[in-house]
Amino acid sequence: MLECKARRRDIKPEALPCQTLRDVGLCLYYGYRIRKDKNKAFYYLINCLDNGYEEKYPRLGEVAYYLGLIAEEQGNPYDEYFYKTSSDEKYPGGKFRYGLVLLDDRRKSYNFEEGMGLVKEAVQEGWPPAIEFMEKFGKLL
């Protein structure tokens, strides 16, 4: 809907503020009031991430997290970059997902201590998937 309005007014999506790009990207990701389109969601969210540092947008961690999810779903190797960015921005979901990346001993970035530290931080911050993970696998690690 916003993209159509932007086209009628000759506004490029890249010129929109990060908050709008994030909102449209998440609506496309989940299919809220518009059809799901993860490719377009990626487009809006990556524009938000690109512009966010300049705008000092406070939710870049969340944006990078969703970019990582989309990349992972599409089998794209960039998921590690997005999760690391999200973790660096202190987003609990990013800490958890990047922690899992670091716990994967098939990757060059394998680091058990750092990975567990990030997962535990996500648990302390109340991230539900991290809590479930630790309840299931915490005793084994």
Tell me the whole-structure pTM to 2 decimals: 0.86
CA atoms of 51 and 58, how far apart (whole Å): 12
CA atoms of 76 and 31, how far apart (whole Å): 22
Tell me which of 49 and 2 has the higher pLDDT: 49
What torsion, rounded to 10 degrees, do the Cα atoms 27, 52, 101, 37 define? 20
Please say whether the beta carbons of 102 and 111 come within 8 A: yes
Radius of gyration of the chain (CA): 16
Instruction: For the chain, give the mean pLDDT.
Output: 88
CA atoms of 138 and 120, how far apart (whole Å): 10
The CA-CA-CA angle for residues 71, 64, 138, to 5°, reads 80
Name residue 131's amino acid: I
The pLDDT tens digits of the residues spanning 18-69 come to 999 999 999 999 998 888 999 999 999 999 999 898 889 999 999 999 999 9
Burial letters for 33-72: b for 16+ Cβ neighbours within 10 Å, e otherwise?
A: eeeeebebbbbbbbbbbebbeeeebeebbbbbbbbbbbbb
